[in-house]
């Protein structure tokens, strides 16, 4: 009797292009096989120097590992994934309307895709992480900003210009604080890193405690809450209630199977998830809430490279 | 030379099950061929009597017009379109967890689907009306309540339990007025028929004019605004700004190609559409707004029967 050998998932290089560093990994079927060298975007400076260094690292990994079938890069900003164009990057100057995909293809000879980093993260959590391949998934990242991505009817949803999923720009208060892109009351303006710290500082002051901003970071607040500090606990409750209110609107609109919450702020854990769940329960109906998983992201900071690699592999199928 | 005859679209019976009457139409390819008799739900009373009358009218139309391939019914409430079950109807008692689809199939012998009425309307406006088959469409109905439906990636989007598209239940103000299903600040609670009238009455009172509620209906306000009444104009501006804010959140989330706005309140026309467009422009970014059509519904009160019939026909394809 012969043993059938299952076909292997293709090898791919995933790239997570962040504001300060660019991370590389060799990935197969959602597993990191080997991590590449990281690039320091500030040290490299110009987009030309960054591009040269990216090409060099891709070539190095591909040479060391025969069988690399695709490359995927996730970048923070407005990315036209269909045409491979980086329209602009958050916090990295010099990348206006660059066809990064075609430049990489020309110089590496490897099938390549570029995409928004939140979409790469969403794809990774959906296929290999906390969302477990459910058909309708909302993925939220809580950090300096609030970003996100949508899996709808079993597909990464992009919208007209690849702009879908900007959960942090949706408003929870029509009369709320001004927001960068005009949507007053944008969720990001309440539950971003900095806003959490400022609010905590305010609440400590109201409680008669003069903490400085550094002592009010999400990490410090988590620690304080775990130690029983009532102010820190109350702040997480406020933040969770606001995130829950923003997500309730999405539940009414999209009736999802699963909401995945990741990013640095989500590290707070149950003290944040508990008011999020309670708020969504109170603000929706059982038919929406009872079949809804609200779970922490599973892949942590690896979601970017894993998702980018998977999007690279997914693009191969479209060509065959 | 022979002339090729194009295949005809199938004939279907569309049913629009409303709070007070049930309308029937024979439909082919989005065109109403003949209107059926309307049934008075209050007169008929029990769900059994309504069902009998529906079966009779379907049979009458199908007998008079050989070639009816499918039946579709749109109903106001929680409908499980996948399994054909009417979980509950707004304003019509006695319809809890009724498998209307199977009952109709058994008694008429015709392939039948049942669906939510807003989804039927959305489907009609997408295929045959104002949305012109664009891939990503948000459809909103403004009336006593605010309902809606979503076409995403060229498909009617349903979500986990067929509950997607409840635009009127999404909140525009986390600290806003209490809402029926718990989501304080729900858009519906500001721009529903009754809320518009109450607000207009308040604004007239503030302006020193003692109008009664009957003089403040959306229709009366449209007339007054057209005649230059500054209070009526200001009220429409408030309403349009709030609808625009609610829709801006959807634009950030879904980056749609088209927003179709229908229902009685939308009859106000440009005096309503102008602040809606201005608000979405101010609260989003050019990359979202410049490729976005914001248009009035085209099919009026026929959208229900046309969409239901089309959903009936669409279901045939899935079986073949």
List C-alpha distances in Å: B212 to B144, B190, B192. Answer: 19, 19, 18
Share of chain B above pLDDT 90, in %: 87
- pLDDT tier for residue A178 given thresholds of 50, 70 and 90: very high
User: pLDDT (tens digit, 9 = 90+) per residue, B233-252?
Assistant: 999 999 999 999 999 999 99
**DSSP letter, residue B207:** T
CA B304 to chain centre: 7
| Closest-approach residue (CA) in chain A for B286 | A181
Structure tokens at B28: 């082919």
Q: What pLDDT, on a 0 to 100 scale, did the predictor assign at position A320?
A: 54
Our CA-based measurement puts residue A5 at a distance from the nearest CA of chain B, in whole angstroms, of: 35
Structure tokens at A81: 């994934």
- Whether the predicted pLDDT of B7 surpasses 80: no
- pLDDT (mean) for A42-71: 96
Beta-carbon neighbour count of residue B149 at 10 Å?
30
Query: What is the greatest pairwise CA distance in chain A?
Result: 78
Q: What pLDDT, on a 0 to 100 scale, did the predictor assign at position B236?
A: 97
- Whether the predicted pLDDT of B317 surpasses 80: no
**Residues whose CB falls within 8 Å of the CB of residue B250, separated by 6 or more in sequence, listed in order:** A253, B138, B167, B170, B256, B259
Q: What pLDDT, on a 0 to 100 scale, did the predictor assign at position A248?
A: 98
User: pLDDT (tens digit, 9 = 90+) per residue, A244-283?
Assistant: 999 999 999 999 999 999 999 999 999 999 999 999 999 9
Taking CB atoms and an 8 Å limit, are A153 and B150 in contact across chains?
no
Taking CB atoms and an 8 Å limit, are A153 and B153 in contact across chains?
yes
- pLDDT tier for residue B268 given thresholds of 50, 70 and 90: very high
Q: Looking at the DSSP assignment, which residues form a beta bridge with residue B13?
A: B26, B71
Q: Does B56 touch chain A (CB under 8 A)?
A: no
Q: What pLDDT, on a 0 to 100 scale, did the predictor assign at position B214?
A: 84
Q: What pLDDT, on a 0 to 100 scale, did the predictor assign at position B2?
A: 66
Alpha helices in A112-181 (DSSP H): 117-127
**What's the length of chain B?**
320
Partners of B157 on chain A (C-beta within 8 Å) are 152-153, 254
Q: Across the interface, which of A163, A175, A242 has its CB nearest the CB of B173?
A: A175
Taking CB atoms and an 8 Å limit, are B253 and A170 in contact across chains?
yes
Q: What pLDDT, on a 0 to 100 scale, did the predictor assign at position A91?
A: 78
Taking CB atoms and an 8 Å limit, are A166 and B253 in contact across chains?
yes
What ipTM score was computed for the predicted complex, to two decimals? 0.94
Rounded Cα distance between A150 and A137, Å, is 6
Taking CB atoms and an 8 Å limit, are B255 and A282 in contact across chains?
no
Taking CB atoms and an 8 Å limit, are A173 and B170 in contact across chains?
no
Taking CB atoms and an 8 Å limit, are A157 and B153 in contact across chains?
yes
- Whether the predicted pLDDT of A318 surpasses 70: no
List C-alpha distances in Å: A40 to A24, A306, A307. Answer: 12, 20, 21
- Whether the predicted pLDDT of B206 surpasses 70: yes
Share of chain B above pLDDT 70, in %: 98
* Contact between residue B275 and residue B241 where contact means Cβ atoms under 8 Å apart: yes
Q: Is the dihedral of CA A125, A283, B184, A151 positive or negative?
A: positive
- A33: three-class secondary structure by DSSP: strand
Q: Across the interface, which of A78, A181, A252 has its CB nearest the CB of B170?
A: A252
Q: What pLDDT, on a 0 to 100 scale, did the predictor assign at position B318?
A: 61
| Closest-approach residue (CA) in chain B for A280 | B183
Rounded Cα distance between B311 and B237, Å, is 36
Taking CB atoms and an 8 Å limit, are B171 and A253 in contact across chains?
no
* Contact between residue A306 and residue A24 where contact means Cβ atoms under 8 Å apart: no
Partners of B291 on chain A (C-beta within 8 Å) are 160-161
List C-alpha distances in Å: B116 to B77, B143, B217, B308, B311. Answer: 6, 16, 27, 9, 11
List C-alpha distances in Å: A288 to A192, A247, A253, B164, B183. Answer: 27, 12, 10, 9, 13
**Residues whose CB falls within 8 Å of the CB of residue A106, separated by 6 or more in sequence, listed in order:** none
Our CA-based measurement puts residue B295 at a distance from the nearest CA of chain A, in whole angstroms, of: 17
Q: What pLDDT, on a 0 to 100 scale, did the predictor assign at position B136?
A: 98
Rounded Cα distance between B123 and B11, Å, is 17
The mean predicted confidence, pLDDT, of chain A is 94
- Whether the predicted pLDDT of B320 surpasses 80: no
Q: What pLDDT, on a 0 to 100 scale, did the predictor assign at position B92?
A: 83
Interface test with A, best of B83, B156, B253, B279 (most A CBs within 10 A): B253
Q: What pLDDT, on a 0 to 100 scale, did the predictor assign at position A286?
A: 94
- pLDDT (mean) for B20-31: 96
Q: What pLDDT, on a 0 to 100 scale, did the predictor assign at position B19?
A: 82
Q: What pLDDT, on a 0 to 100 scale, did the predictor assign at position A82?
A: 93
Rounded Cα distance between A277 and B110, Å, is 44
DSSP string, B7-45: PPPPEEEEEEE-SSEEEEEEEETTEEEEE---EEHHHH-
Q: Is the dihedral of CA A190, A191, A195, A199 positive or negative?
A: positive
- pLDDT (mean) for B282-288: 96
User: pLDDT (tens digit, 9 = 90+) per residue, B55-113?
Assistant: 999 999 999 999 999 999 999 988 999 999 999 888 788 899 999 999 999 999 999 99
Beta-carbon neighbour count of residue A229 at 10 Å?
17
Q: Counting runs of H as helices and runs of E as strands, what totals does chain B give?
A: 11, 13
Structure tokens at B22: 């049930």
Interface test with A, best of B246, B254, B275 (most A CBs within 10 A): B254
Rounded Cα distance between B105 and B87, Å, is 18
User: pLDDT (tens digit, 9 = 90+) per residue, B104-162?
Assistant: 999 999 999 999 999 999 999 999 999 999 999 999 999 988 999 999 999 999 999 99
Interface test with A, best of B160, B187, B250, B282 (most A CBs within 10 A): B160
* Contact between residue B41 and residue B21 where contact means Cβ atoms under 8 Å apart: yes
Q: What pLDDT, on a 0 to 100 scale, did the predictor assign at position A1?
A: 58
- pLDDT (mean) for B309-320: 84
User: pLDDT (tens digit, 9 = 90+) per residue, A99-136?
Assistant: 999 999 999 999 999 999 999 999 999 999 999 999 99
- B65: three-class secondary structure by DSSP: coil
- pLDDT tier for residue B210 given thresholds of 50, 70 and 90: confident
- pLDDT tier for residue B261 given thresholds of 50, 70 and 90: very high
Q: What pLDDT, on a 0 to 100 scale, did the predictor assign at position A148?
A: 96
Q: Looking at the DSSP assignment, which residues form a beta bridge with residue B70?
A: B12
Name the percent of chain A in helix, strand, coil, to the closest 5. Answer: 45, 25, 30
| Closest-approach residue (CA) in chain B for A258 | B160
Taking CB atoms and an 8 Å limit, are A288 and B163 in contact across chains?
yes
Q: What pLDDT, on a 0 to 100 scale, did the predictor assign at position A319?
A: 60
Our CA-based measurement puts residue B282 at a distance from the nearest CA of chain A, in whole angstroms, of: 6
- pLDDT (mean) for A72-82: 94
- pLDDT (mean) for B28-37: 96
Taking CB atoms and an 8 Å limit, are B183 and A153 in contact across chains?
no
Q: What pLDDT, on a 0 to 100 scale, did the predictor assign at position A258?
A: 98
- Whether the predicted pLDDT of B175 surpasses 60: yes
* Contact between residue A95 and residue A88 where contact means Cβ atoms under 8 Å apart: yes
Q: What pLDDT, on a 0 to 100 scale, did the predictor assign at position A28?
A: 96
């Amino acid at each position: 009797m012969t043993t059938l050998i299952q076909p292997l998932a293709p090898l791919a290089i995933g790239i997570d292009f962040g504001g300060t560093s660019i991370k590389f990994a060799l990935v197969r079927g959602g597993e990191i096989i080997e991590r590449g060298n990281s690039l320091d975007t500030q040290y490299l400076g110009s987009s030309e120097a960054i591009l040269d260094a990216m090409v060099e690292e891709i070539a190095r990994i591909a040479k060391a590992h025969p069988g690399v079938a695709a490359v995927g890069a996730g970048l923070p900003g407005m990315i036209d994934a269909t045409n491979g164009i980086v329209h602009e990057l958050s916090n990295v100057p010099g990348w206006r309307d660059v066809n990064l995909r075609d430049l990489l293809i020309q110089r590496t000879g490897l099938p390549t895709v570029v995409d928004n980093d939140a979409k790469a993260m969403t794809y990774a959590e959906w296929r290999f992480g906390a969302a477990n391949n459910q058909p309708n998934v909302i993925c939220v990242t809580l950090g300096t900003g609030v970003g996100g991505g949508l899996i709808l009817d079993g597909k990464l949803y992009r919208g007209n210009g690849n702009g879908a999923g900007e959960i942090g720009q949706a408003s929870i208060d029509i009369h709320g604080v001004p927001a960068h892109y005009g949507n007053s009351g944008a969720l990001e303006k309440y539950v971003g890193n900095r806003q959490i710290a400022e609010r905590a500082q305010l609440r400590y002051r109201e409680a008669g405690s003069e903490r400085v901003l550094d002592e009010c970071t999400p990490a410090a607040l988590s620690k304080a809450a775990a130690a029983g500090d009532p102010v820190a606990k109350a702040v997480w409750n406020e933040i969770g209630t606001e995130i829950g209110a923003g997500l309730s609107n999405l539940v009414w609109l999209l009736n999802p199977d699963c909401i995945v919450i990741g990013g640095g702020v989500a590290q707070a854990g149950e003290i944040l998830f508990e008011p999020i769940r309670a708020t969504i329960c109170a603000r929706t109906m059982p038919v929406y809430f009872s079949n809804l998983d609200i779970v922490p992201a599973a892949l942590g900071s690896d979601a970017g490279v894993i998702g980018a690699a998977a999007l690279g592999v997914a693009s191969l199928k479209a060509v065959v």
